[in-house]
A = this chain, B = another copy of it.
């Protein structure tokens, strides 16, 4: 249709962006493997032929993207982006978009059920041991909402891990980071809330052990419905996740 273009599209990107892109490309396509050094700033200056300030701006971009990090001696190296850090950025985005708890709940229900299904199918002995360890510790702090909330979040992370599906692990993380901090308020506000939570976890773990998918899904749903009922005693599901949430997201960031 269109005539053969005489000129190639002119590439107008700031130099720091080009530096970042160049390094990124090498990492993504595998020419630089995670853990391998990138070189010193001085070397990059020499290779790219730009000023050190420019290189440093490019480096900051990649660092924030999780593609490179500085080791103990502050030298640059490629690395595998941690889900957790990226998920924090997403959680932040969700806050700014003022998503509602209903959206959060609905999506978490979907993803947690998927997690438990995967866990029932594929959990290893080690996964089960981790979950059992978590459950045991939970039983110890059943009267302590803050401690229990933390262990609840961990239980669900371990469940996602047991599903052996890393895409699922990643997908659930942003919602979970916003969802689970509420657990503390809810467990504290409902009598027998802590006991019900631990009981549900127990049934879920049991279902995973017996490879009983139906039971696993059933108890996971009940567990989340409990959360929902508890939440609705405090606030409307249609309330949006607010800025005050930020602190939780921040505490979890490091």
Contact = CB atoms under 8 A, between A and B. Distances in A.
Interface residues of A, number: 50
Nearest to A85: B93
Contact of A96 (B81, B95, B97, B171): B81
Interface in A12-44: 16, 25, 27-30, 34
A236 interface: no
Contacts of A170: 90, 93-94, 174
A65 interface: yes
A178 B221 CA distance: 29
Interface stretch (A99-107, A125-133, A135-143, A225-233): A99-107
Interface in A72-107: 80-81, 83, 86, 89-90, 92-97, 99, 103-104, 106-107
Interface stretch (A147-155, A161-169, A183-191, A206-214): A161-169
Contact of A80 (B53, B96, B174, B246): B96
Interface stretch (A3-11, A55-63, A196-204): A55-63
Interface string A240-253: 00011010000000
A120 interface: no
A60 B64 contact: yes
A15 to B, nearest CB: 12
A243 B29 contact: yes
Residue in A83, A86, A90 whose Cβ sees the most chain B Cβ within 10 Å: A90
A194 interface: no
A158 interface: no
A165 B103 contact: yes
A114 interface: yes
A93 B64 contact: no
A144 interface: no
Contacts of A172: 171
8 tightest CB-CB pairs across the interface, nearest first?
A: A81-B93, A107-B167, A110-B114, A29-B243, A60-B60, A64-B64, A103-B167, A30-B243
Interface of A: 16, 25, 27-30, 34, 53, 56-57, 60-61, 63-67, 80-81, 83, 86, 89-90, 92-97, 99, 103-104, 106-107, 110-111, 114, 118, 165-168, 170-172, 174-175, 243-244, 246
Given A65-B89, A80-B97, A106-B168, 8 more contacts: A64-B65, A81-B93, A94-B166, A99-B167, A106-B167, A107-B114, A107-B167, A110-B110
